[in-house]
Amino acid sequence: MECVGLNLNLCNLNLIMETEMKKQILVVGLVIAAMLFSGCDAILEPDEEFNAGEVIKETLKSPSSYRRLNGKVLWRGKNDFGNSFVVRIEYESQNSFGALIKDCQVVAYSNNGKQLNWNGRSALTSCKSVGDSVPMIEGFAKGNGLGVGKIEP
């Protein structure tokens, strides 16, 4: 940009503003890049019930409305990916109409310490379908490839 005559002060102000805007765009770009490359390690918790809730939230219409009411680890084991769990979670969340709905899901997932892994087709089932039946819980774990494990007391 060329500055001539009486508009010199205005021109200098425009050059300063352009430089500052470029700096701000660069900073925002770096922040976004850092967020994209940070992975999901920041949300992984050692709490099995919290992690099961993260799996449930992936299926909800309004994940931000999720609130865990109760949780219990039903089964623990190991597979090639890491530690595996079957967890019962009672929760409430809003449906697509905004109504608060209570539900109970049994969640099967593995955790290698850095990320969660689950089968998107079979990792969740209704608490009623599994119940407290040891064979049903073990069958659910086996059906989700969770490896060798045991029922939790």
Question: Is the pLDDT higher at 59 or at 25?
Answer: 59
| pTM of the complete model beyond 0.75 | no
Most confident of 4-13, 44-53, 79-88: 79-88
Domain boundaries, the chain: 5-37, 48-151
Residue 22 host element (H or E): helix 8-37
Nearest 5°: the CA angle 51, 93, 132 is 60
Q: Mean pLDDT of all residues in the chain?
A: 82
Question: How does pLDDT run across 61-74, given as a tens digit for each residue?
Answer: 999 999 999 999 99
| Token pair for 104 | 């109970």
Fill in the amino acid letter for 76.
R
Question: How does pLDDT run across 18-33, given as a tens digit for each residue?
Answer: 666 666 665 555 555 5
